[in-house]
Amino acid sequence: MQLIGQVQRILRRYQHYAAFRLLVLVSLVIILVFLMVESVSTNQVQTTDIDRDMVIRATLDSLADQIGIEYDSELDYEQRAVRQNTSLINEVRWPRVAMAVLVGAALGLAGSVLQGVFRNPLADPGLIGVSSGAAVGAITAILIGVDLTSALETLPDLGILDPANLSGLKFAQALAAFAVGLMVTLLVYRLSRLGGRTDTANLLLIGLAVNSISGAYVGVATFIGDEQQTSDIIFWSLGSVAGVFWEDVYLAAPFVLTGVVILPTLARQLNVMTLGEAEARTLGINTERLRQITVGLSALMVGVAVGFAGIIGFIGLVVPHLMRLLFGPDHRLILPGSVISGAIFLVAADMFGRTIPNPSTAGIAVEVPVGILTALVGGPFFLFLVLLHQSRRKLT
């Protein structure tokens, strides 16, 4: 605890310097780009590792071809190995990394916004029931077998987004995840209101109850589902960005980017909310409207994230606290920092999940789902936060 206090005091000396803030943001971007390239180039089985230089060249080749500019990567596409690696890079690994970036950014940003609007440092999409509610929606879509392929086929061909290659099943699951996640979030928020304000203890307790109910629902769904449905449900429960294609990325990106673009514009209002809800209203902030927008967009991002990647917890809890440690209470920096850091967290977790374990005795590579890795990090961190708050209360 004393070490954390010393680190906070050191960082507070530099947090108000614009150069320090810019340096931190630029460093986060560099770390994210490095991890993305590293994730594409490495794999659990060393024989399928790809040189970073080739990853960069093949990626630039693909981008130049899509943009319509000339670029000579000097790769010999006459060689079969080059063609295979290029296809692996552009069609398998980059979509997976891109989805990890989107999901991580969505969860990190949603956690920061929910903590700011509820004025609760323990608010998290997973802890207050948003993620579990979204999972219930996705699992319900799996059990019912909702398929929106026919609806997607009516969409125009936008070039990069060919409706013929879209998954109506995944889209239906993402849509159901958003709808149920939003309803559960509003329910938890409504029930946790006490005397015109959101009570922290009620919020966490009601979120815990919702998570328990959702866990029971997942168990029942696993029991009554057929073999394929059970396999899909286990996927949602553990969380994974495996098996993602560019069409999935293109479908999820607009929803996530909507929140990434709009929510940071509300940073000043969230800063005012830290003074208290009554004080914010006095200063002209429409707190109810702010809460509706932030909760709605957070539910949208988390619902899409759960719909495509399953339940991935604690990113929305860990990342905002790290950003507050670096930047202080200013949401103008916390929100963009959470977007980048959330992406870093999930890309790193996915990469480690693919590379840490050794292949099985049969020579088959076995991955650790990212939801397990984020829980291993986030669980102890959550316990640490509780103990830290207890120690501060004793001092006061």
Which of the pair, 203 or 314, is modelled with greater confidence? 314
Asked if the structure places residue 81 within a domain, the reply is no
Average pLDDT over residues 213-225: 88
Domain tally, the chain:
1
Tokens of 166: 């879209």
Round to whole Å and give the CA distance between 38 and 36.
5
Mean pLDDT, to the nearest integer, of 34-40?
A: 93
pLDDT, residue 13, reads 73
Percent of the residues in the chain that have a pLDDT greater than 90, as a whole number: 22
The mean pLDDT value for 76-88 works out to 82
Query: What are the structure tokens assigned to 162, written together?
Result: 């060919």
pLDDT value of residue 246:
86
What domain range includes position 252?
Answer: 14-36+95-395
- Band the pLDDT of 389: cuts 50, 70, 90: low
- Give mean pLDDT, residues 304-323: 88
Buried b (16+ CB within 10 A) or exposed e, 48-72: eebeeebbebbbebbeeeeeeeeee
For residue 314, being part of any structural domain is answered with yes
CATH number where 21 lies: 1.10.3470.10
- pTM of full prediction above 0.85: yes
- Looking at residue 279, what is its pLDDT? 87
CA distance linking residue 110 with residue 124, whole number of Å: 8
In this structure, is residue 44 part of a structural domain? no
- Residue 392: its pLDDT value, please? 59
Residue 384 — pLDDT band, cuts 50, 70, 90? confident
> Does residue 362 carry a pLDDT above 50?
no
Q: How confident is the model at residue 264 (pLDDT cuts 50, 70, 90)?
A: very high
Per-residue pLDDT at 181:
83
Q: Is residue 28 part of a domain?
A: yes
Between residues 381 and 209, which one has the greater pLDDT?
Answer: 209
| Residue from 365, 317, 389 nearest 49 by CA | 365
Residue 177 is encoded by which pair of tokens? 């995840």
| β-strands 193-194, 197-198 pairing | antiparallel
Mean pLDDT value of segment 12-18? 74
What is the C-alpha separation between 220 and 215, in angstroms, rounded? 9
Q: Considering only residues 248 and 193, tell me which one the structure prediction assigns the higher pLDDT.
A: 248
More confident residue, 253 or 42: 253
Q: What is the mean pLDDT of the chain?
A: 82
At 19 the pLDDT is 85
How far is residue 256's CA from residue 106's CA, in Å, rounded to a whole number?
Answer: 6
pLDDT tens-place string over residues 87-144: 888 888 999 999 999 999 999 999 999 999 888 787 788 777 788 888 888 888 888 8
In a domain, 350, yes or no: yes
pLDDT at 382: 74
Residue 42 belongs to some domain of the structure: no
Quick one: pLDDT at residue 271? 93
